[in-house]
Every structure is written in structure tokens, then in C-alpha cells.
Amino acid sequence: MRLLSNLGQWRSVAKEVVDRTMIAVKFLCFLHVTNNYVCTATHVYGPSMLPTLNLTGDVLIAERVSPRLGKLGPGDLVLVRSPVNPNRIVTKRIVGREGDRVTYYDPRHGDIAQTAVVPKGHVWIQGDNIYVSCDSRHFGPVPYGLIEGKVFFRAWPPDGFGRLGY
């Protein structure tokens, strides 16, 4: 009789473990879907987006729906997988969409303004600080598929907390 009582206790404990494990798995699945398809938080730092973003780093929230729907335009801050180093995500501003004629100035090539037409399926991105930014002026238009998300909110530092708009 005592053996059956212990067996019942083991079943109860096993059911509890399975239930808690399923809750954890569901939560992790929810986090995965949210982070990869809805919105994500990212830490950005460096001088290329001065004065919009801080040199020492900001924590930004980016939504991932707009790039999939094609709802991006000039002035939007975006997270882009770097065409130079695919392991890095960079934060830049869209300056032109497909079909736009973009006139830009590259300080490394003197005072000559250059013009480019953005091809179909691409965007022209630039950092706000043109003197130190590696962007479309150096590697050309970026395929739309490399855009990871549209930045819409700064979560850190506290003095910059709030929406980011153009």
C-alpha cells in the first residue's frame, strides 16, 4: 500500500515539473517571436549618429513590422545589417528610397558633391555625423532586405527617454 502512495506522489511531482517546464517553454517561444518579428531592444554606440544618438551608447527599441510592409521613408532611423560586416547591425538614417536621386557630400573626397540614383529594392542610408560615418556614400545603396527594424523609441539614457522622430 505504501508503494502506491509513493507512486502517486511521484506522478504528482512529475506532473508539476512538466507543467512548469511547459510554461517556461511557452514564455521563451513568446520572447523569440516578439524579438524576431515584432520589436527588439538594442544597444547602439559610436560617433556616426551624433548628435541624434549619444557617443557612449543608447538603448533603442525598434519595431520589425514596417520593413516587412515597406512602410519606411526618408528620415526614418533604421537598424541595418552591415553590408561590409554581416555580423554587425548599424543604426543609420534613410536618406532616399528606390528611384530617388540623392546628392551627397563625402568629406574624404574634397568639396565635390556627388549624385546617385537609388536602384529598385534599395535604400540610401547615412549617419547624421558625415565626418565619421561609414554608410551608403562608401558602400552604395543597401538592399531593402538588410533592414532589420525601424527605431522608434529611446529607453536609455533617462534624459533622452522617449520617442525618436525626424
Question: What residues are labeled active site?
Answer: 48, 92
Establish whether the linkage from the previous residue to 143 is cis, with ω within 30° of 0.
no
Checking DSSP bridges between strand 77-81 and strand 113-117, what pairing results, if any?
unpaired
Give the whole-angstrom CA distance, residue 35 versus residue 48: 25
What one-character DSSP code corresponds to residue 61? E
Helices (H) and strands (E) in the chain, counts: 3, 10
Q: Beta-carbon neighbour count of residue 83 at 10 Å? A: 17
Query: Which CA distances in Å does 86 have to 80, 83, 152?
Result: 9, 6, 23
